[in-house]
Structure 1
Amino acid sequence: MQSKKNVTLEDSLKSADTEETLDIWFYRPLGFRLALLCERLHITPNMITIFSIFVGVAAGLLFYPANLKVNIIGMVLLVFANLLDSTDGQLARLTNNHTRLGRILDGLAGDLWFICIYLVCVFRLLNEGWSSWVWLLASAAGLCHILHAAMADYYRNIHLMILKSSSGSEHDTSREMSEMLRGMSFKEKPFEKICLWFYRNYTRQQEMLSPKMQVFLKTLRTTFGENIPQELKNSLREANKSNMPLTNILQFNTRVIFLFFCLALDCVWLYFVFDLVVMNSVLVVLIVRQERFASKFNNIILKETYSKA
């Protein structure tokens, strides 16, 4: 790994536009210090990610007992798992050691935490006398959770792509993933090919939920390639920056704070309702706003292009 000299906290961040207040004041500063320590110990981002999976799953298991003291230990572990999740990305940026496989593992880690949490909450409710119908409630909430995380991540990466071009973002297309899959041997790289197959389908799902954004991105690529005019970049950033807080709501902090609240009240069923009602409402608003943004600027670019032709 090769890192920069005299690195700062800002070097480890993606963009101030996409950072949450809690991340800036808590997770990122601690993650930065942990990243520097891990670099000195020759610990790679993927090693941190894999460790975070075990920590996050252990946290989820501690939410099973209806015992607040045990639950609080689980809460601390889940916060630590998220700190590790912050650290791996910051270390990757500081050492320029970021890979697509690393991003896939990073997303998988969070999914495994919450799969465990959802299952534990179901078994906790069943133990309290709930009927098997709770599986339907939890499954619906879990599927929605996947959509929340997918679309929030997608829109944030598009914003970063606009700011920094493709080289500075983690934006991928399903077509690129399909081409990579065709060129990858299962015998030589079975694990990577399986991960890439799931990631391709994940990316395709994101694209299906944002049709106007796909048209806009195609117009952007065919018109400017990698060289988006700075004036247009500034306009896109200003118009889209107000959507970033909505992506943040759909990410880790908001849902975990509410989860902790539900655990403290011994009402874990309320967390599923929160996912289905509140978070779905936020997702709908976000998609509508992003589609309007995409449609508006697609028309602007086409109008200016044809007027110059």
Structure 2
Amino acid sequence: MTDAARTVSAEQTLVEETLLNNVLRSFERAEDPRLKQIMQSLVSHAHQFVRDVRLTETEWQKAIEFLTAVGHITDDRRQEFILLSDVLGVSSQTINVNNAAIPGATEATVFGPFFVDGSPEIELGGDMSGGANGEPCWVEGTIKDLDGNPVPAARIEVWEADEDGLYDVQYGDDRVACRAHLYTDENGEYHFWGLTPTPYPIPHDGPVGKMLEATGRSPMRASHLHFMVTAPGLRTLVTHIFVDGDDLLKHDTVFGVKQSLVKLFEMQAPGTATPDGRDLGDAAWSRVRFDIVVAPEQGRSAATQAA
């Protein structure tokens, strides 16, 4: 509680508590118990915030104007509300709450605002870059369950920004690049060509960007490559991998970095033979390995359930 809140008189405290209790009681007839719980908790925390900082009417009006601006800039290609949730750490905390830490399982992290359904399918060893600018990167690994069994035919969605720090949907045309899906083979193995991830700023020309500037925060994200893994009977995994050595690992503006997801991208000199024999001419390239372990839907391995 702030010093200002501590100086509120008993009479004023009674007025504020009476209002809070009246609002909480207004949800008592909600038929859905989960909705009732959420709304009453939301009201309690919101009122506590207003009372703690002694929010002024002008500040509340500014907050309403800010949220209105977030809504106005949001469309089917740009989700400013997701950006707001991301930079406040709410997205990451929601991921933490809904993906309980399970020893041995790959950690989840934020989804981000740039996933698009209907990505093109590529074969194993295919190129997901779609001709976008950037340094080629060979990505390989396995997908297994908690008991170490390979997961064949797991669907892997991958997406990333190009070397200019933009996703395809940010260009405003109909290009499809740096996104694809593929499937693991019978041994749970996968491999494909993408681009070496580079740092980029989240869109900061809108209200969220203005908030970051006003609070002295950077809009930059640490370099990363997105993954989403789905397979029957297994928990959907949404995660990234990050580039070891990136200066932004400790300052990722959406708080998405987890140490277990930081991987070594090994730089390869021009002319170095590629794993699949692809001719890259005089271009340098990188390679990274990401072995993924996916938890069962109920969060327990078959071995644990049998014990």
Bigger Rg, which one:
2
Counting strand residues as a fraction of each chain, which structure ranks higher? 2
* Shared fold (TM-score, shorter chain, > 0.5): no
Bin of the TM-score, shorter chain as denominator length: under 0.3
Counting helix residues as a fraction of each chain, which structure ranks higher? 1
What TM-score, normalized by structure 2, do the two folds share? 0.23
